[in-house]
A and B are shown apart, each in its own frame.
Chain A
């Protein structure tokens, strides 16, 4: 991206925060309902450096990292398997289509009944939440591998196992990565949702507690932190993509 064009993405953030600031200062809303942006941002920084928020951040981050990695490790092989075998595809496709629209938040109370209100149920719901978009992307990636690539590898004397790991997997990577990007957003929503329902610790716990206690400024500050984390994770991911997929 050219430097001059990159400025626009700073613009949009500046305009958004300017609008916020203006609206808050205009007095349309009482200041406890919509505190000014600058105050809120200072609050966010304060929360991160001073308060007990880092503890909750770590708790959420730890659950998210475990759930997301397990989901990734499980879903990619399943997606590729679906692409390679018509039977597996026809077996799993209705299951995925049926469960996809089920709100993941609705599953949390059920999972809690089974697994307790601790980390296990929360990690499980993250795994489930990311699983389908990841499977679908891996399936499409593996499905789209050109036959001529596989035939070329066969002609070179590669066996089926080698073709799977050295041809189909790398060839599916670009699609898998776009699935990871989608699952990233979903996973953050699921983490916060699960912490809202089973309140013990975490960013979601902190967010909804402050909301219920009427500490709106803290709520806004936490929201800024959450969107900042989402933004940061997405940037990191696109940086990784740029390096891993420099051949695309």
Chain B
């Protein structure tokens, strides 16, 4: 069943002193099924995160619309939870208070709220850390809190914006498997933005490849690997290697066609692209 529909969504930013218009997204069409794990990959600055924020209702699209369960949405709602790369925990609240914060917005009793929070503390492996402040946690632990906090208010769709992007390589791999385990348990619809192609293949049912800016979806690749997925077994398989290589090539094509190197970072890419657009 289709859970989320993105219809002809485009986004144009006005930026800089000269009020130049930068086209971030150009006519995105997308359908995500209920309970599906769907990833977005593509070159830096291609508008993947922008699309996620539009779906979340945090920024308005310049054109097109977002449908959740067939109903158009244009503002944030508890049906769409979001997890950010930089965790976005409330630093003045402890772990349990952070998780309870979202629940307090709903009309449920205190006992029930505590029970729900407890359930997600257990699920995300945060037992024993309930009363610590975010500053006392490692990056991986912070992201667990953020995931628990979002899951606790029970959104239908989980929007994840490079959630493991700021973690070290080991923690990242570990958190991927944790996320898979949690996802198997909850079966939420997940929209996952990442720069890591291996991560996308390991986690997803389908992966969409974005073009360079202005972002378009070039290709949607199904990942027909059975679940539960076990990393050690998976990475040796021909099928996994082929999928990763295929996606790498698809992204590389976009990066190489770009008027500057991906290593130079988003800012320079942006200005270079503006110049490029002006010439043409």
Contacts and interface: CB of A to CB of B under 8 A. Distances in A.
Interface of A: 146, 148-149, 151-158, 162, 167, 170-171, 173, 246-248
A167 B90 contact: yes
A247 B135 contact: yes
Interface in B144-172: 149-150, 153, 155
A149 B81 CA distance: 13
B106 interface: yes
Contact of B88 (A148, A157, A170): A148
B105 A151 contact: no
Contacts of A248: 91, 135
A155 B105 contact: no
Given A151-B56, A248-B135, A156 B101 contact: yes
A41 B213 CA distance: 73
- Dominant SS at the B interface? loop
Given A247-B133, A247-B135, A248-B135, A155 B90 contact: no
Contacts, number: 62
Contacts of B81: 155
A105 to B, nearest CB: 38
A185 B27 CA distance: 58
A154 B57 CA distance: 9
Contact of B92 (A151, A153, A162, A170): A170
5 contacts: A148-B86, A157-B78, A157-B102, A167-B90, A170-B90
Contact of A146 (B80, B86, B149, B155): B86
B88 A247 contact: no
Contacts of B13: none
A146 B91 CA distance: 11
- Dominant SS at the A interface? helix
A156 B105 contact: yes
Contact of A155 (B78, B91, B106, B135): B78
A146 B93 CA distance: 16
Interface in B77-134: 77-78, 80-82, 84, 86, 88, 90-93, 101-102, 105-106, 133-134
Contact of A158 (B80, B105, B150): B105
A149 B87 CA distance: 9
Contacts of A146: 86, 88
B92 A156 contact: no
Q: Which of A146, A157, A167, A248 has the most CB of B within 10 A?
A: A157
B84 A152 contact: yes
